[in-house]
Structure 1
Amino acid sequence: MAHDPWQERGRGQAGDGPVTRPPQRALDRHRLRHLLDAVGAVSTDMDTRTVLRRIVEAAADLVAARYGALGVLDESGTVVDLITVGIDDPQMCAAMGLPQGHGLLHTVVDDQEPLRVADVAAHPRSAGFPPGHPVMRTLLGVPLTMRGTVHGDLYVADKRDGTPFDDDDEGLLTALASAAGISLENARLYEHLKRVAEHFQRRMLPVLPDLAPLQAAARYEPASELPRLGGDWYDAMVLPDGATCVVVGDVTGHDVEAAPLMGQIRNMLRALAFDRGEPPGLVVSRLDRALMMSDDPPTATLVFGRVERGRGEGGQYTFGWSNAGHLPPLVVGADGGTTYLAPARHGIPVGIEASVPRYSHEHPLPPGSTLLLFTDGLVERRDQDIDAGLDDLAEQAARLATAPPDELCDALISRSRQVFDDDVALLALRIPSDDPAR
């Protein structure tokens, strides 16, 4: 509970001495400063719950109340969160649970008007208090509304000097409720936008086809903060010559334009790969020339490759690839050994200069090994060097060398955190094992 520097020194009992109060002008300045601070918190970068807690603290402080609370409603009108001030025991709050939608508190939501009660117990809609709840005598509550929608209610109880709440208290609480209503509506719009953006992004990514005898799995995770539309993608398909084509890429930029540009580049590359069974470097060169026909060509980093088996019985699988400014693929052996495929001749991103040569490379894929292609969101952290992220990925992948590709992808996505600074695309391809039991 925030301390009120203007509260009384005592209640006038014997030996307490005289009650001291500040001049009214000083009190008004104090209230105005706290009101402006609380309203200003809505426009900061703090998370919604932190903003709402500050508003509740300011409400209790401004009207010198012992208790304050803010109830958050979902779109169906059910209380889904309750932020309290003045009850310091978290176990008590957890035991009491959320309000059940009846009694005085719900009157504020039903009537959508401020409510002042001088004697809670005597009010006809009072439902009493749950076990362990402090007994409160006076109440002031206001609804949190925005554009005719009720998002919750803000209320305080029991002034420290024992007096009832007045018109000034109601005006201050109403102003704070307006700020809280804006914050809650913004939070709802933010969550809705995230859901829509993520759905749009996922609809643009392919469902992996059957690549048997290879096993494959892929994952996409959007950035944790808006914008959730990104340019990362994965793709895989079987080519007419029997080779399996794989690609992971990242279009420059993370805004509304990145996702459709990703779709454009992905489709171009699919068509070029399907048209001719050329080495990966030549396919990427063709993509460069196609992109440079645009007045404002999109740019992207990518790894494009072919997985194919040598001729004859027992032929070994190989991975032929070309890297256009992207992070190197990772090969994880069945024994847990790891190798990043990072040859010296590393190409620049596509869409920059079509005359720059592209290179093709080859690497064997032993039985039971796993090829991992990924975008930088999987290994980049704001607080560490990217080499540390690559080392961590290799270490974690080695521990899961024989796990099914789906389990491997899930574990790598969630291995160290739930917050992604950038979106992530991950593709895992498992080579058949010589051991028929595996």
Structure 2
Amino acid sequence: MASNAPVGKPTGMSAPRLPKVAGIDSTVPAPPHTAAPLPGVPPAAAPSDAALPPGVLIQDRLASWVSDLTTLHELTERLIKTSSLDGALREVLGAGAALVGARRGMAVLEPADGLGPAGTIGLGLAHADLGTIETVPRGSGGYGRLLDGLPEAGPTSTRPSSTRPARVPEPIAIRDVRTEEGLDPRHREVAARLGYAASYALPLATEEAGGLGAAVWLYDEPAEPDERRRHLIGLYGRFATEHLARLLQVERARVRVATVAEELLPSRLPRVPGVRLAVRHLTGSQGGGDWYDALPLPEGALGLAVGSVSGTGPSALAAMGRLRASLRAYAVMEGEDPVAVLSDLELLLRLTEPARSATALFAYAEPAQRRIVLAGAGHAPPLVVGDRRTEFVETSLSAPLGMLTCWEAPSVELSPAPGETVLLYTDGLLRRTGDATDRAFARLHAAAASVPGADRSDPGAVADHVLRTLLPEGLDPTVEGEDVVLLAVRFE
């Protein structure tokens, strides 16, 4: 995970300010007569309390409660909008810095179950700074002790160890690195080099979620958060851990689905004289049924296919695997006739999975003659990209497979010029743009036409440029939707 750029050291301890609510500045310390803003924090007494009217005390106490609760509400609202582990950890670091009164920090994601993912990000710390901190023995730093000390519930528990909630350790404050007892000399050396004098480490753990990691904030001068700030960051930390646990489950599910999908697709693209191939496959959180294939055929020919099956999840992945395997068999037997290949595929789908539909495009390519014969079933037309033209291939309209009692549509033939690239893609590329169909096609054409001349000789660079232009923020894995497949075929 990337880290933020370093921040110059201020002359004194700099504490980010919490948001103002209804004219109340929650970073200003409570006056002596103010009661604790939240339950569990004892009020500070003052000799002048008896001299103040009861109404003033009540108003002051309510103002503190409203200020603290509104601040927590605003920070948690910002956190809940994050949809990735990296984004959530960055938000936790920023919010925590404001709550504890620090300006730098780091968060370590290290799930206690050992199943990952793991990583470290920083706030106001360069990547080299994070590496320097990691050279401190884990037992000396506060966050290291938290990561290594997440014991399970006591021996009196009767629940199985696999379901028993973890005991949450207490935060660790080091008020002054120079005078704290028991610190490793390396810890003091690193603190002096990076210019911090104190730290406050918070476990990212709850009893139900277990230990997910830890966050630590660094002070420029000897300091530690007061009891009120500890209480606020504790409440925020518990909420943040539950949110991180949900994002962790989503990320793990996405990785599992992507792994299964990749195993069902070609492990590598074939090398056939006269063409160069490149493919980009992006998988959503639920796992769609988009697929591609490229297989050598007799007499130097090449079979190219892209398609998708309806639905998402494991059943769609299984159907995709069966459909792709069947198409390979039909392509070997009668690949020179794409219409026959798709007709056989239609019959198979209708007999074996009558409740499912699919789109497919199959192309029989002869690289030596720079000739392609293709047929499509409810699929988007290929796009030819070259120095002299960027245009969609005119194909016949056809319903998807499984939608008709008998599928058949005429094939089309095209002859790419030397140096031209043919793009085959699934509907997910168009739909993930969020635009209407006509607008999505126009954007795809414009993206392909804008490929720099230096990149047109590399089909992988062409595919990357198109994806960056259409999906500048990539494929959000947390948003349900179709997968994206883009197969680029460049003719020499």
Residue 152 in structure 1 maps to residue 214 in structure 2: yes
Residue 330 in structure 1 maps to residue 392 in structure 2: no
**What SS does the aligned partner of 2:351 have?**
coil
Offset at residue 151 of structure 1 (A): 0.3
- Are residues 379 and 120 of structure 1, via their aligned partners in 2, closer, same or farther at CA, if it must alter by over 3 Å? same
Residue 230 in structure 1 maps to residue 288 in structure 2: yes
Give, in whole Å, the separation in 1 of the partners of 2:457 and 2:65.
Answer: 66
- Once the two structures are superposed, residues 302-343 of structure 1 have per-residue CA deviations (whole angstroms, 9 ceiling, x without a partner) of 22122248xxxxx9443221121212112345x543332124
Residue 114 in structure 1 maps to residue 175 in structure 2: no
Give, in whole Å, the separation in 2 of the partners of 1:361 and 1:233.
Answer: 22
1:408-423 matches, cutoff 5 A? 408-414=462-468, 417=472, 419-420=474-475, 422-423=482-483
Offset at residue 109 of structure 1 (A): 4.5
Offset at residue 419 of structure 1 (A): 0.2
Match of 1:264 among 322, 332, 337: 322
Larger % of helix: which? Answer: 2
Residue 275 in structure 1 maps to residue 333 in structure 2: yes
- Once the two structures are superposed, residues 364-406 of structure 1 have per-residue CA deviations (whole angstroms, 9 ceiling, x without a partner) of 3445544332224445522572132232243145836861445
**Residue identity matched to 2:108:** V
Residue 285 in structure 1 maps to residue 339 in structure 2: no
**Residue identity matched to 1:250:** S
Match of 1:341 among 375, 385, 393: 393
Give, in whole Å, the separation in 2 of the partners of 1:176 and 1:316.
Answer: 66
Structure 1 residue runs of 5 or longer lacking an equivalent are 12-17, 85-89, 310-314, 433-438
**What SS does the aligned partner of 1:281 have?**
helix
The answer on whether the counterparts of 1:370 and 1:401 sit within 8 Å (CA) in structure 2 is no
- Are residues 37 and 245 of structure 1, via their aligned partners in 2, closer, same or farther at CA, if it must alter by over 3 Å? same
- Are residues 274 and 71 of structure 1, via their aligned partners in 2, closer, same or farther at CA, if it must alter by over 3 Å? closer
Structure 2 residue runs of 5 or longer lacking an equivalent are 1-15, 33-47, 50-55, 150-168, 477-481
The answer on whether the counterparts of 2:455 and 2:461 sit within 8 Å (CA) in structure 1 is no
The answer on whether the counterparts of 2:201 and 2:214 sit within 8 Å (CA) in structure 1 is no
Q: Which moved more, 1:251-260 or 1:120-129?
A: 120-129
Match of 2:108 among 72, 80, 100: 72
**What SS does the aligned partner of 2:319 have?**
helix
**What SS does the aligned partner of 1:177 have?**
helix
The answer on whether the counterparts of 1:35 and 1:58 sit within 8 Å (CA) in structure 2 is no
Give, in whole Å, the separation in 2 of the partners of 1:116 and 1:356.
Answer: 71
Aligned pair count? 406
**Residue identity matched to 1:165:** D
The answer on whether the counterparts of 1:337 and 1:398 sit within 8 Å (CA) in structure 2 is no
Give, in whole Å, the separation in 2 of the partners of 1:295 and 1:221.
Answer: 25
- Once the two structures are superposed, residues 175-220 of structure 1 have per-residue CA deviations (whole angstroms, 9 ceiling, x without a partner) of 3322233334444444333333222211111245656333231313
Determine the structure 2 residue equivalent to 1:244: 302
Offset at residue 23 of structure 1 (A): 2.3
Match of 2:251 among 191, 215, 233: 191
The answer on whether the counterparts of 1:144 and 1:154 sit within 8 Å (CA) in structure 2 is no
**Percent of aligned pairs with the same amino acid:** 25
- Are residues 209 and 9 of structure 1, via their aligned partners in 2, closer, same or farther at CA, if it must alter by over 3 Å? closer
**Residue identity matched to 1:328:** P
The answer on whether the counterparts of 2:203 and 2:215 sit within 8 Å (CA) in structure 1 is yes
Give, in whole Å, the separation in 2 of the partners of 1:399 and 1:406.
Answer: 14
**What SS does the aligned partner of 2:17 have?**
coil
- Once the two structures are superposed, residues 263-292 of structure 1 have per-residue CA deviations (whole angstroms, 9 ceiling, x without a partner) of 122122222232335632233222222211
Give, in whole Å, the separation in 2 of the partners of 1:319 and 1:72.
Answer: 52
- The normalised TM-score by structure 2 is 0.67
Determine the structure 1 residue equivalent to 2:374: 321
Q: Which moved more, 1:323-332 or 1:407-416?
A: 407-416
- Are residues 393 and 354 of structure 1, via their aligned partners in 2, closer, same or farther at CA, if it must alter by over 3 Å? farther
- Are residues 121 and 414 of structure 1, via their aligned partners in 2, closer, same or farther at CA, if it must alter by over 3 Å? same
Match of 1:307 among 351, 358, 365: 365
Determine the structure 2 residue equivalent to 1:425: 485
**What SS does the aligned partner of 1:293 have?**
helix
**What SS does the aligned partner of 1:246 have?**
strand
- Once the two structures are superposed, residues 103-129 of structure 1 have per-residue CA deviations (whole angstroms, 9 ceiling, x without a partner) of 553455555433356666532146554
Give, in whole Å, the separation in 1 of the partners of 2:426 and 2:486.
Answer: 7
- Once the two structures are superposed, residues 341-370 of structure 1 have per-residue CA deviations (whole angstroms, 9 ceiling, x without a partner) of 124x31111111133542222223445544
Give, in whole Å, the separation in 2 of the partners of 1:369 and 1:95.
Answer: 45
**What SS does the aligned partner of 2:252 have?**
helix
The answer on whether the counterparts of 1:324 and 1:347 sit within 8 Å (CA) in structure 2 is yes
Match of 1:2 among 14, 17, 37: 17
The answer on whether the counterparts of 2:176 and 2:197 sit within 8 Å (CA) in structure 1 is no
- Are residues 325 and 36 of structure 1, via their aligned partners in 2, closer, same or farther at CA, if it must alter by over 3 Å? same
1:350-389 matches, cutoff 5 A? 350-378=401-429, 381-382=433-434, 385-389=439-443
Offset at residue 221 of structure 1 (A): 2.2
- Are residues 193 and 352 of structure 1, via their aligned partners in 2, closer, same or farther at CA, if it must alter by over 3 Å? same
**What SS does the aligned partner of 1:347 have?**
coil
The answer on whether the counterparts of 1:332 and 1:401 sit within 8 Å (CA) in structure 2 is no
